């Protein structure tokens, strides 16, 4: 990540050189800030397009349930691509597509018996296909396309993009952490990188207001983990 922050560091130095000299009493604070600045981290994988490894990646949502705890949902089918240049992280691009119907809810009980009159076979079926929830028949995918990537620390960045859910598109920002890299993945033999990402959005912004506010909360916590392997020609 050394190359990533070299440009930013140079800009800071040039700005400091052109700025008026600070008051004497401010110097110790400036020196302290400089002393505690994080050291840049070198990322040595080559620039290119990296695709998520579906067997070692996850996308989950968490929502408040009855004001008691966070209820977790996980999507089984998705793909994501990162166009990544370690020399210019801000130029990176991220896109992802999630299959809305392919969801895990972790409901082990007899859903039909516990929900008299339901037309759905399971909680997953209800969440995926009810017009109260994801309505996957009409809106089969959930997508995210980045609009900006802003380096935020020695291993972090803020990725802002357009989230499209149930036909509504809103800006969402993810806090992304660079988790690791390898020049040669042990199975694919290609360069690979790893990321973790978290963020939040309000489901009511996307027309998902069923059972608000007392049964299921409005804030959705997003939790993403992913191994990404460089795409190869052919």
Q: Hey, where are the domains in the chain?
A: 2-35, 48-230
Question: Partners of 60 in the beta sheet?
Answer: 74, 223
- CATH top-level class of 48-230: mainly beta
* Its pTM surpasses 0.85: no
Q: Which of 98, 100, 105, 107 lies closest to 73, judged by CA?
A: 105
* Averaged pLDDT in 10-residue chunks for the chain of 234 residues: 37 37 51 50 85 96 94 96 92 97 93 94 95 97 97 91 98 96 93 96 97 94 97 74
Tell me whether the omega of the peptide bond preceding residue 17 falls within 30 degrees of 0, making it cis: no
pLDDT reported for residue 86: 87
pLDDT score for 233: 65
pLDDT of residue 31: 54
Q: What is the pLDDT at residue 7?
A: 38
- Please give the pLDDT value at position 106: 87
Question: So what's the pLDDT on residue 155?
Answer: 85
CA dist list (Å): 21 to 11, 29, 37: 17, 14, 20
């Amino acid at each position: 990540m050394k190359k990533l922050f070299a440009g930013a560091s140079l800009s800071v130095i040039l700005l400091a050189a052109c700025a008026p000299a600070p008051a004497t009493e401010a110097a110790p604070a400036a020196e302290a800030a400089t002393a505690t600045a994080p050291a840049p981290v070198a990322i040595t994988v080559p620039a290119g397009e990296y695709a998520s490894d579906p067997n070692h990646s996850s996308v989950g949502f968490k929502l408040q349930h009855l004001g008691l705890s966070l209820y977790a949902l996980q999507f089984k089918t998705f793909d994501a691509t990162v166009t990544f240049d370690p020399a210019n992280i801000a130029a990176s691009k991220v896109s992802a597509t999630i299959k809305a119907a392919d969801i895990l809810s972790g409901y082990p009980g007899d859903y039909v018996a516990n929900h008299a009159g339901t037309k759905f076979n399971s909680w997953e079926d209800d969440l995926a296909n009810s017009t109260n929830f994801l309505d996957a028949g009409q809106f089969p995918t959930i997508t995210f396309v980045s609009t900006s990537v802003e380096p935020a620390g020695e291993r972090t960045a803020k990725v802002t993009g357009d989230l499209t859910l149930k036909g509504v598109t809103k800006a969402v920002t993810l806090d992304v952490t660079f988790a690791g890299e390898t020049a040669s993945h042990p199975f694919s033999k290609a360069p690979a990188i790893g990321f973790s990402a978290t963020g939040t959005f309000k489901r009511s912004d996307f027309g998902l207001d069923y059972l608000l506010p007392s049964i299921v909360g409005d804030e959705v916590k997003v939790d993403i983990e992913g191994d990404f392997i460089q795409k190869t020609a052919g």
